[in-house]
Amino acid sequence: MKYVDGFLLPVPKKNIAAYARMSKRAGRIWKEHGALEYRETVGEDLDTKMGVPFAKGARAKPGEAVVFSWIVYKSRAHRDRVNKKVMSDPRMQKMMSKKDTMPFDVKRMMYAGFEVIVDL
């Protein structure tokens, strides 16, 4: 059964273009190492009346956008193999070492792995 890593994070609106550039580079690395899908989305319709709005869940402040992202794998074991390769890739290490130029606060990013239970 497929497996998904999910991410929810606030990004300053002024940094969305820089975030998208960084994400494109990261996504290419993930796909190169075997990820099935790599998606990055920015919130557009966030004023929902049902449940907890993503902006509240992400603790977004004024001037911040909400980014919802996911990476799809064949299984959790496949995810673990791919992520091991990605994290040891010199290109990714170089990107992660530039914490002072990151377009978002890594400490505010939410992340978890999910087993797919419905796939239509």
Q: Residue 97 has what pLDDT?
A: 83
Indicate the pairing of strand 3-12 with strand 64-73: antiparallel
CB distance 68 to 11 below 8 Å:
no
Which domains does the chain possess?
Answer: 3-43+54-115 (3.30.70.100)
Q: Residue 91 has what pLDDT?
A: 94
Q: Residue 75 has what pLDDT?
A: 98
pLDDT in tens, 42-100: 999 998 888 988 998 899 999 999 999 999 999 999 999 999 999 999 999 988 887 66
Model pTM greater than 0.95?
no
